[in-house]
Amino acid sequence: MVNSLVLSCLSFALRGDQETAVRLGRRALDMADELGNPSTVAWAEFGLGSALHVSGDLASAEAHLGASLHRARSVGNQWVLGLGLGQFASVRRLTAGPRDALPSMVESLELWGRAGNRVQLGHDLRLAALCAGSAGETATCLRVEAAAQAVGASLPLLARESAELVELLAAAERIHPDLPRDRLAIEARAAGWKAATSAAIAELRKVVSGEIVADDDAARAPRP
């Protein structure tokens, strides 16, 4: 019953009926709390947090998604953990800034890469590209999005996220005429989706660690 409620909650959220989505999400969480199974609670927290995210209640969304991650980690539920990391990063990009979202993105990409789940991997690569572009790392944005193309079909971003990514990619191409998206995509596909994903993760890790200090290829170097 909890599972069907969460799935309905997510469906209504994506269809734009936020009020119904949040109501179903709260009902699912109440029921999960009564059952007391940590994995079930983690799944319900994810559903409610996702609905709250789409509805615009970012503070509550972050709290519920954070609780979902904690529960999922405690019982080793990799599926809910992977889903939660992407949603949490999506919210964190808006509440704390895109750089604070990147560590969760790197973890999610590593998880989906190990699992070989290309549908989720492609989605989170595009979300990571959005975070990188929002942080001003436009060359990284281009490379990570190229990796997403190598991965292939994926779940779509939220409409507003997709529109923002399109704008960021267009701006990035203007900044980096030496990095045309078509060429990057061809190179990523030629390398294969696993190698392209590994390269994207490695570059995102450098952004997270501060090893990449400027959004200019000639200036990319470790900090002294």
pLDDT tens-digit series, residues 119-137: 999 999 999 999 999 999 9
pLDDT at 213: 58
Q: Domain locations in the chain?
A: 1-77, 97-224
pLDDT at 131: 97
pLDDT at 211: 82
Q: What is the CB neighbour count within 10 angstroms for residue 131?
A: 30
| Interval 183-212 mean pLDDT | 95
Please determine, for residue 113, whether its predicted confidence score (pLDDT) is greater than 90.
yes
Please determine, for residue 223, whether its predicted confidence score (pLDDT) is greater than 90.
no
Percent of the chain predicted with pLDDT > 90: 91
CA distance 14 to 109: 23
Where helices occur in the chain by DSSP H, the ranges are: 2-15, 18-35, 38-55, 58-75, 78-95, 98-115, 118-134, 138-151, 159-175, 181-191, 193-209
Return the CATH class of domain 1-77.
mainly alpha
pLDDT tens-digit series, residues 150-180: 999 888 999 999 999 999 999 999 999 999 9
pLDDT tens-digit series, residues 14-25: 899 999 999 999
Mean pLDDT of the chain: 93
pLDDT at 153: 81
pLDDT at 217: 42
Please determine, for residue 114, whether its predicted confidence score (pLDDT) is greater than 60.
yes
Residue where the block lists tokens 């997403």: 148
CA distance 34 to 133: 42
N- to C-terminal Cα distance for the chain?
A: 56
| Interval 80-99 mean pLDDT | 96
Please determine, for residue 222, whether its predicted confidence score (pLDDT) is greater than 60.
no
